[in-house]
Amino acid sequence: MVTLLMVSVVVFAAIEIIPGDAATRYLGRDATPEALEVLRERMHLNDPAHERYIKWISGAVTGDFGTSLTSGRPVTEVLAPKIFNTVILATVAFLVYIPFSVVPAVFAAANRDKLMDHMISSINLLAVSIPPFLLATFLLILFVITFPILPAISAVTDESTVGEFAIAIILPVMTMAIVMAAHTMRMLRDNLIEVFDSDYIRMAELKGMSKHRVLLRHALPNALGPSLHITALNINFLVSGMVVVEKVFAFPGFGRELVDALLVEDQPVVQATVLLASMVYIFANLAADLGSMLLNPRLREQ
């Protein structure tokens, strides 16, 4: 909570130092000084910065992030459908990311220094090196132009059916899952190899325990612990990476709304989106620490 409070101060201060003010951005350059002054009074822009911050953060705690300058609607009303779309997209991408990272890592570790290991590692290195926007563009060329089986634009509305929504998010989900899995797979492979070489794994094998049971019961849970922090960073990427992916595929989500709000300098929307994204990142790291403790008994004892 202290970290989140510090982030809120930084976010508010960053918006404050941008040249101009919200009244000028709202009324435009042709506004008269009288109209600007009236709007500044109504928006409390003439109040000291610390008073406006206290008012803003007090409202944010109760879920009131103010009013959008461009639409005139409450920020929560503007962001709610965008957040819903992004949560669905991020959830599906995360579910796809798990097998995308675990399965190749297990095959690579089980076939260490063999052809399969080298092939998986080479593909993984290529995936890590490709920026998300370039991977998204490549998938567009592959599945929209070369093999026209998927839509180029992931445009969904309130009237879209479940089937239409599912088809629309295939390319964004693939992009996010591949990028996240590429960063996790390598670490998980190395962790699995280290665990396979440990004494208790060899003891389990000597007792006649099957390789399948050794992997699922002993090796994989212990190897997953260090990878949880990479997963926490990937959850953060689900928020920050959505800015790029949603813009490329024109998906009406949280990240695209942030970009649009920055372009028109909609201060309340920008503050709310950045604060919510920071909240996700902070609690994702907390969840990773707790998950590591659950998987590793030694950490629980400490």
Q: Which of 91-100, 153-162, 187-196 has the highest mean pLDDT?
A: 91-100
Residue 143 confidence (pLDDT)? 92
Average pLDDT in the 137-142 region? 90
- 74 inside domain: no
d(CA 294, CA 188): 18
pLDDT at residue 158 above 80? no
Same domain, 111 and 236: yes
Question: Higher confidence at residue 33 or residue 166?
Answer: 166
> How does residue 171 score in pLDDT terms, banded at 50, 70 and 90?
very high
Segment 182-200, tens digit of pLDDT: 878 888 887 777 777 676 6
Q: Between residues 204 and 68, which one has the greater pLDDT?
A: 68
183: in domain = yes
* pLDDT above 80: residue 107: yes
- Residue scoring higher pLDDT (156 or 225): 156
Per-residue burial over 208-233, b if 16 or more Cβ lie within 10 Å, else e, is eeeeeebbeebbbebbbbbbbbbbbb
User: What is the overall mean pLDDT for the chain?
Assistant: 80
pLDDT: is 88 or 218 the higher one?
A: 88
Range with the largest mean pLDDT of 166-170, 191-195, 212-216: 166-170
Query: Residue 81: which H helix or E strand, with range?
Result: helix 75-110
Say if residue 123 is in the same domain as residue 235: yes
Tell me, yes or no, whether 143 and 26 share the same domain: no
pLDDT band at 45 (very low <50, low <70, confident <90, very high): confident
**Residue 73 within any structural domain of the chain:** no
Q: What is the pLDDT of residues 229-244, one digit of tens each?
A: 677 667 766 766 777 8
138 is a domain residue: yes
Domain assignment of residue 72, yes or no:
no
Residue 189 belongs to what domain range? Answer: 82-301
- Percentage above 90 pLDDT, the chain: 4
Q: How many domains in the chain?
A: 2
Q: Are residues 111 and 14 in the same domain?
A: no
Same domain, 178 and 295: yes
My answer on whether 290 and 163 are in the same domain is yes
Is residue 160, in this structure, part of any structural domain at all?
Answer: yes
Q: Is the pLDDT of residue 16 over 80?
A: no
CATH number of the domain where residue 110 is located: 1.10.3720.10
Domain co-membership, 46 together with 94: no
Which residue among 61, 91, 107 closes a domain?
A: 61
Residue 71 lies in a domain: no
Domain annotation covers residue 69? no
Looking at the fold, whether 119 and 207 belong to one and the same domain comes out as yes
3-state secondary structure of 44: coil
Residues 34 and 138 in one domain: no
DSSP one-letter code for 242: H
Model confidence over 236-274: pLDDT tens digits? Answer: 667 667 778 888 888 888 888 888 887 777 778 888 888
Per-residue model confidence (pLDDT) at position 20? 65
Give the orientation angle of helix 75-110 with respect to helix 267-295, to 10 degrees.
30
Span 90-105, mean pLDDT? Answer: 87
Contacts (Cβ under 8 Å, ≥6 apart) of 116: 107, 108
Mean pLDDT of 5-10: 87
Residue 125 has pLDDT above 80, yes or no: yes
Q: Given this model, what pLDDT does residue 208 score?
A: 64
Q: Looking at the structure, tell me whether residues 177 and 121 fall in a common domain.
A: yes
Residues 216 and 170 in one domain: yes
Predicted local distance difference test score (pLDDT) of residue 170 = 92
**Model confidence over 24-44: pLDDT tens digits?**
766 766 777 777 777 777 777
Task: Give the end of a domain, one of 61, 95, 111.
Answer: 61
* Coil, strand or helix at 161: coil
Among residues 190, 175, 181, the alpha carbon closest in space to that of 100 is found at 181
Q: Check pLDDT > 70 for residue 210.
A: no
- What tokens were used for 237? 């990427």
Q: Are residues 107 and 46 in the same domain?
A: no
